[in-house]
Chain A
Amino acid sequence: MNCSFLGGKNYTNMNSTNKSKRSNSLSLVALGAMITCTAALTGCTIAPERTQAEKDKEDKTQGYSSSSSTSYFHTGSSSGVHSTPGGSTVTRGAFGSYGSSAG
């Protein structure tokens, strides 16, 4: 991987002892550079802003439509079926509409 930011910053714990909880060097990649560099390397796609329809869909899917305790699913529906130059179809936007839920 020949990218200028890799190895550009090296943070080494010089005070490691035999009891240290951290013994190896920390070679850190700056995230800002990371984003730029990754885009240059791989053609990283910057996604367009979500449309109002997509945001509306998120609102809808986050509000449960069923009070049943045994139904496993929301009522979100997939959208965005696109044809490719090769003649196949690709469905996008079917997953990821709930927004952030990491923690």
Chain B
Amino acid sequence: MKFEKFKARSNWRARADEAGYLASILDNPPYWVEALEEPFCGVLTLDEVENCIEMATAEIYERALEAVDFVVNGARSEEWFDRLAICPTYRNAIRRSWRRADHSIYGRFDFSYNDGVLKLLELNFDTPTSIYEAAVLQWFWLEDLKNQGSLPGASDQFNSLHERLIGVFAKVGIGENKLHLCSVADAPEDEDTVRYLQSCAMQAGLDTRYLLMTDVGVDNKGRLVDTEGKAIRQLFKLYPWEFIMYEDQGFRSRTGKYAFPPLIEANAVRFLEPSWKLILSNKANLPLLWHLFPDHKFLLPAAFDDDSPEAKKLRRAAHVRKPIFGREGGSVSIVDPNGQQQPVTNESWYGREGFVLQSLHALPTYQGYHVVLGSWVIDGQPAGLGMRADRSPITSNTAIFVPHYIQN
């Protein structure tokens, strides 16, 4: 993999608008790479895509599902639920969801791919974003640069995201054609993500409706209802399960009962992503994966941030400290006891549930940006790639989206 500069399209903002993306999100501050003075892109060979990134994505996804099964059905299930900081009230609901094989739409692995070595940094399998940028915007970019002769006509992209999303929503629509989708208020990036997924669901033939998460109601029969009081049977929520888990305590304080676990256990509402994603989108699964698959070629050594020998060993070299529940690099620190790596901390409110440690595998850099690979899984299959670049070695919500192409 390498990076190279390219000349920004003169009409890239118009092209983004044409695609329905809010240019203000792309431009202020810069989010899409063409907003930079010197935009750059990633360049991969087909061999790298097929025999490294795609293969690793499929391999790690299988191992991750094994880890979920280990937590749900293993002899030490309760112990691992404790370590994952998942409250007891939700555990049986998660077990039901997993054993029912509740459908998953998507997820994203973040990889560090440096000097030909690929390592898993973390899993985003509950509320991943940047899917629209990866599926559509970078595809437009590729087509435009090919059409204007800036890239060879044979150039390609690891990207079947759009088609696969429509395909998986078509499966979701079997048996229940209605789908509600929600995100939180005052978050245009989140809403655009959900609107895009809604459009995919509509193209798959589903009858969809968007609402805000705060407008999801619970009636006195315990049903979820929309703003018109109609029962919600399928809900795509771009809202973390751990937040729902926290807020359900407040709901119980008010009403005397939890809202979500009974719905999950009775399968009264099909949730997308399903509740078993609480295990996958949880950084405690990094030491879990290392525990189950030590020395796996795509995994980094990881341990809970405690007094265990594993943790003490990790602290002796450069490592990353991550909150068990966290997003967008919040409360992540890079620590190097030997002083070779400058310490970095991204302060946030995450971390109350504890932390994990992971051996440091530095991201490749270009023009002062640290570039992370986001490898998407749609309906259980590797489906595409997006890159994000941050000035900090800790990728945050200020990272810039970088398109890529496959050099043939």
Contacts and interface: CB of A to CB of B under 8 A. Distances in A.
B199 A31 contact: yes
B57 to A, nearest CB: 12
Interface in A7-64: 11, 13, 15, 17, 19-35, 38, 42-45, 47, 49-50, 54, 61-64
Interface in B344-398: 349, 352-354, 384, 397
Nearest to B382: A21
Contacts of A89: 219-220
Nearest to B239: A96
B211 A47 contact: yes
B148 interface: no
Contacts of A19: 46, 156, 408
A78 B255 CA distance: 9
B146 A15 contact: yes
Contacts of B186: 50, 99-100
B216 A96 contact: yes
A29 B162 CA distance: 11
Interface in B83-135: 85-87, 124, 127-129, 132
How many chain A residues sit at the interface, stated as a range, is 35 or more
Classify the interface of chain A: helix, strand, loop or mixed.
Answer: loop
A74 B249 contact: yes
B128 A102 contact: yes
Given A11-B139, A96-B185, A72 B249 contact: yes
B254 interface: yes
A2 B254 CA distance: 43
Contact of B220 (A26, A76, A88): A88
Contacts, number: 237
B20 A101 contact: no
A80 to B, nearest CB: 8
Nearest to A29: B199
Mostly, the B contact residues are mixed
Interface stretch (B63-71, B189-197, B261-269): B189-197
Interface stretch (B34-42, B221-229, B295-303): B221-229
B311 interface: no
B205 A1 contact: yes
Contacts of A17: 154, 156, 408
Contacts of A79: 254
A31 to B, nearest CB: 3
A77 interface: yes
A69 B184 contact: no
Given A26-B162, A30-B20, A38 B246 contact: no
Contacts of B157: 21-22
A92 B212 CA distance: 11
A73 B249 contact: yes
Contacts of A91: 217-219, 251, 254-255
A28 B19 contact: yes
A101 B156 contact: no
Contacts of B136: 26, 28
A72 B87 contact: yes
20 contacts: A3-B202, A6-B203, A11-B140, A22-B139, A22-B156, A24-B163, A31-B19, A31-B21, A35-B195, A38-B202, A47-B211, A62-B349, A64-B349, A69-B352, A88-B220, A98-B247, A99-B185, A100-B187, A100-B189, A102-B127
